[in-house]
């Protein structure tokens, strides 16, 4: 694949140079322009499908899997869990707008009362604690992934429209997420951007890294390698482990800010979770 190096250096400079701060909207426009030139035959709306938006051979196999999706039972389990009353008689529906239906695209958002990024999975556990229940694990699939999958399923077709408020803490959270995305870490000295911006479309070992745009649309995702649903933050942890960097704890500030940044980069894309991936 021929890389347009003028775009390559432009996105590197504007997004990561010390002391250079573009607005979030300028960052997003630069991202979109970069990928539009890199993959001119890919419609923006198709980036919700990850690597399958740029690799036709992988897409054919993926579409055959989606005919009989392996996560159907997870959606069913999630719906049952979502509607099962807590010991106090309340359900998850009491904790979310619109009863929790069709709202996946509203997360993450910056909670100005708490001065922090709020993700859907964190909100699910906050709901449980508010109702006297123990929090669910964010790892290894299970109830958290199933509930999140059900809520994503009810939101399919709804478009991400993340707004970053004119709030210093919100802008700092965005910048911190952006910095983590482009910072090389671990013994292998890799960043998220190394795979998903600079090397996307190029085969690394047996896989082609997916484009940076659209990463949050389809989570939780059923990963065939794991044989189960994987939440977004578990995927973050897996990537860090692969470059030999100690993962952060799920739902800590680093991951929440990272999710905030990459979700903003995917504004305008439809939710299509849960999805299936290798």
Q: Is 95 a catalytic residue?
A: no
Q: What's the Cα-to-Cα distance from 41 to each of 35, 62, 216, rounded to whole Å?
A: 10, 19, 22
238 burial (CB, 10 Å; 0-12 / 13-18 / 19+) is middle
Among 127, 192, 195, 239, the active-site one is: 239
CA dist 8 and 241 (Å) reads: 27
Q: Are 138 and 147 in contact (CB under 8 A)?
A: no
3-class DSSP state of 135: coil
Q: Are 185 and 234 in contact (CB under 8 A)?
A: no
Q: Which among 156, 180, 197, 164 is positioned nearest to 245, based on CA atoms? A: 180
Torsion-angle region of 251 (φ positive above 0: left; ψ -120 to 50: alpha; else: beta): left
- 77: tokens are 């389990």
Instruction: Find where tokens 């997870």 sit.
Output: 74
Give how far the C-alpha of residue 56 lies from the chain's centroid of Cα atoms, to the nearest Å.
23
DSSP state of 158: P
CA dist 16 and 11 (Å) reads: 8
Q: Are 101 and 109 in contact (CB under 8 A)?
A: no
CA dist 152 and 120 (Å) reads: 10
Catalytic residues: 239
């Amino acid at each position: 694949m021929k890389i347009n190096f003028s775009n390559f250096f432009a996105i590197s400079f504007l997004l990561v140079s010390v002391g250079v701060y573009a607005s979030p909207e300028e960052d997003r426009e630069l991202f979109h322009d970069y990928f539009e030139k890199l993959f001119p035959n890919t419609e923006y709306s198709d980036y919700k499908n990850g690597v399958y938006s740029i690799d036709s051979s992988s897409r054919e196999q993926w579409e055959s899997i989606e005919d009989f999706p392996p996560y159907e039972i997870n959606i069913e389990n999630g719906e049952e869990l979502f509607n099962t009353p807590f010991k106090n008689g309340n359900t998850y529906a009491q904790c979310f707008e619109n009863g929790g239906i069709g709202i996946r695209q509203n997360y993450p958002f910056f909670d100005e009362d708490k001065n922090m990024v709020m993700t859907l999975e964190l909100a699910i556990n906050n709901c449980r604690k508010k109702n006297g229940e123990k929090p669910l694990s964010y790892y290894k699939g299970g109830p958290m992934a199933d509930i999140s999958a059900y809520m994503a399923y009810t939101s399919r077709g709804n478009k991400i429209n993340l707004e970053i408020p004119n709030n210093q803490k919100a802008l700092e959270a965005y910048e911190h997420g952006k910095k983590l995305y482009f910072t090389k870490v671990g013994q292998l000295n890799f960043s998220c951007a190394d795979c998903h911006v600079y090397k996307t479309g190029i085969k690394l070992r047996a896989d082609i890294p997916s484009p940076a745009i659209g990463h949050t649309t389809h989570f939780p995702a059923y990963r065939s390698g794991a044989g189960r649903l994987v939440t977004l933050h578990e995927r973050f942890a897996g990537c860090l482990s692969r470059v030999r960097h100690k993962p952060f704890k799920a739902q800590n500030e680093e991951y929440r800010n990272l999710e905030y940044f990459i979700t903003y980069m995917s504004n305008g894309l439809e939710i299509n979770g849960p999805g299936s991936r290798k």
